[in-house]
Structure 1
């Protein structure tokens, strides 16, 4: 029985050709080692960007950049040096970045994100949703809620890929926080940190990006039953 499916796997599945989708699903729970697939591959750049966003302070970028450059210089293994270099390239792009442009308000209250609430059932599959931050803010005396999710991928995300993240984030917030907050579609934001590209759920509502999450997961589910 499948316990959880990271949302990234759904995005990867959608980008596969029909011929490769079946083998991709079959191999999903017997993964082989990969340069990028390790959960910590991008941790240095994404953790620094996450902290810089939360505190609205680029100091976290500078500190992590110095630390990662030092690790790069000390490293001998070529594969490890490539990993550090890729993280350094991302961090370099954010040393002068204004993180406030991703914030819907100056005053944000950051809320806990229990891992016990991270699974959404979509088409009877447990999809894992792990945004980096969930926050509340006031709009005309109404408590709104939003979230932000930082992602990157060597193959590069398209807007419709990021839309899958944004819609899943909206659903995650709706299920877990809607009793006390109004979900703000514009504040359900996904950032491709490599491209500095931002997509939010309001773009799907307005028809700028197609809604693909249900059809993609339904297709994914069909390969599990074959």
Structure 2
């Protein structure tokens, strides 16, 4: 086992029987290389999510239509039905964001985007290595205070529930606290996860006063890892 993604945590919660949970744990113990057009893994959503992340940073929605046209060309020459379906699902996501207002997810200050080294992506929670991979981590100054926030675009064919999105947001906030809180003040208002399938989003400020299902789920997973 190298690392556990937050989508793995959600997948575990969705398993309806102990047997199916154990099967997933065994797969995580000996991970196989992911294929690009494996429906929930690999780089299945890279075409849409990377473009949306670029639009967020560059503040121009024109990139979306350009990418849709590129994917339509690729879809036309794709050989397998599965690959054609992958392109179509990415196109569908991009279409939702053609006129989307991204400013609601950015503080109204000059932003500096930070690099996201892989060695900072792993959090140890319940003694398990949890990987957090936000699309953007950015810093800015407000009232003389250096602040930091982050955004993470996610997708799953069976859309995430509010509770599941909250797991992502909880992990994202912990990522910022662990890696940057000594130098910057983490702003929970702009620590945001956006579900690109249904346009739902959760800010950490919305869940800060409660608790999510992250730790309790990982505690169960830890027992099964043995």
Superposition TM-score tier, normalisation by shorter sequence: over 0.9
- Tell me whether 1:5 sits opposite 2:4 in the alignment: yes
Q: Which residue matches 1:145?
A: 148
- String of CA shifts for 1:15-59, please: whole Å, max 9, x gaps: 212422122211223458673133211111101100000111112
- String of CA shifts for 1:175-201, please: whole Å, max 9, x gaps: 110111001111111010111111111
TM-score by length of 2: 0.93
Moved >2 Å (runs of 4+): 27-35
Q: Which residue matches 2:216?
A: 215
- Tell me whether 1:41 sits opposite 2:49 in the alignment: no
Q: Is the 8 A contact 1:105 1:137 kept in 2?
A: no
Q: Is the 8 A contact 2:109 2:142 kept in 1?
A: no
> SS of 2:79's equivalent?
coil
- Tell me whether 1:50 sits opposite 2:41 in the alignment: no
Q: How does 1:113-124 map to 2 (within 5 A)?
A: 113-124=116-127
> SS of 1:202's equivalent?
helix
Q: Which residue matches 1:134?
A: 137
TM-score by length of 1: 0.93
Q: How does 1:16-165 map to 2 (within 5 A)?
A: 16-19=15-18, 20-28=20-28, 29-31=30-32, 35-165=38-168
Listed as ranges, the gaps of 5+ residues in structure 2 are: none
**What is the distance in 2 between the residues matched to 1:62 and 1:173?**
32
Aligned-residue RMSD, C-alpha = 1.6
Listed as ranges, the gaps of 5+ residues in structure 1 are: none
How far did 1:174 drift? Answer: 0.5
Q: Is the 8 A contact 1:57 1:99 kept in 2?
A: no
